[in-house]
Amino acid sequence: MKKILILLIIGSLGSISEVFAQQDPQYTQYMYNTEIINPAYAGSREALSFAGLYRSQWVGLDGAPDTFTFSVHSPIKIKNVGLGLSLVHDEIGPSQETYANIDYSYTIWTSAYGRLAFGLKTGFNVVNIDYSKLNVAQEGDIFDNNINNRIRLQIGTGIYYYTDKFYVGLSAPNLIESKYFDEESLGNPDAYVFSREKIHLYLMSGYVFDLSPDVKFKPATLMKAVAGAPLQVDVSANFLIYDKLSLGAAWRWSAALSALVGFQLSDELMLGFAYDQETTELAKYNNGSFEFYLRYEIFKSRERIYTPRFF
């Protein structure tokens, strides 16, 4: 659960101590949205690559999360170096968070087919929380002190190994832990910290099998770990047909089942869509989650066009 949903549950208690929660946004099309969580991915597609994703989670539930991401990355003239920009805007209940980061990667060839990239992500996030949007049973000092444009530094890192058929990556998008409350405005700040942003670790991997000249099959997985929250595991399986149409399904452990579809409309443009259906009691209170993805690439090498990579 996100930290603000936890706040809604415990806010009526009148005094709040530290709460640890899984805080980073989640994505069903994580296999295409890699730069957001792993800076080592920057430049790996050998093109100037623009990508945007919009996720509406738990549709029909008041205050449910809405997330928008944008990324752009490319190799540059400096040998083995990739640069990128990644943006995330996440809204849930009364809170808004915006992340802006520069992504840097350095890649070395480990064999004739494999490359290993090391990445660094640096930037900041801005937090706003408007408590007037909450309906609380018992008002108190904590609800009289909105968070306005709280800026926090971000530094993250990652490694990413890949070939044309296989990839595996390990990353921590933010290594700096932050408290979320306007401590300076309160007489006893330690009593009112309701959330501390913890380090999130991501492990992702996938492999492409050629079932025939026209059909490829790619199983993939993403695991997310953070102290104080259950391990999140996503498993997906996608088929790419004639290098144009992708169809697949995904399962989020103890959370949701998903359907995915993608269209490679041209050498440059790809569209993707995903739908999640909750498998928990929360399914009674929402109409599922929707996700839309768009990628546009220019300055591709001819070799990459002839043999498109499925990630």
What pLDDT, in 10s, does the model give residues 55-91?
A: 999 999 988 999 999 999 999 988 899 999 999 999 9
Mean pLDDT on 186-197? 53
**How far apart, in Å, are the Cα atoms of 257 and each of 204, 271, 291?**
18, 21, 13
DSSP assignment string, 60-80: TSTT--EEEEEEEEEE-SSTT
pLDDT-derived band of residue 232, with 50, 70 and 90 as boundaries?
Answer: very high
3-state secondary structure of 50: strand
Q: Give the per-residue pLDDT at 275.
A: 97
3 by DSSP, 3-state: which? helix
How much is the average pLDDT of 190-205?
74
Higher model confidence: residue 223 or residue 14? 223
Torsions phi, psi of 8, nearest 5?
-60, -35
pTM of the model: 0.85
For position 179, what pLDDT does the model report?
A: 65
Lowest mean pLDDT among 71-75, 102-106, 186-190, 292-296: 186-190
Span 237-260, average pLDDT: 96
Query: Residue 207 and residue 157: Cα distance in Å, rounded?
Result: 23
pLDDT of residue 131: 76
Identify the residue whose tokens are 């530290």: 18
For residues 67 and 51, the answer to whether their CB atoms sit within 8 Å is no
Confidence at residue 159, expressed as pLDDT on a 0 to 100 scale: 98
CA 156, 162, 164, 166 torsion-angle sign: negative
Write down the mean pLDDT value for the chain: 85
Domain boundaries, the chain: 32-182+191-261+294-300
* 129 in Cβ contact with 143 (< 8 Å): no
With bands split at pLDDT 50, 70 and 90, how would you rate the model's confidence at 18? very low
Tell me the mean pLDDT in the region 182-203.
63
> What are the pLDDT digits (tens) for 126-142?
988 887 777 665 555 55
Distances (CA, A) of 310 to 52, 122, 208: 17, 28, 7
What would the two tokens of residue 168 be?
């595996």
Does 2.40.160 match the CATH number of domain 32-182+191-261+294-300?
Answer: yes
Token pair for 104: 């840097």
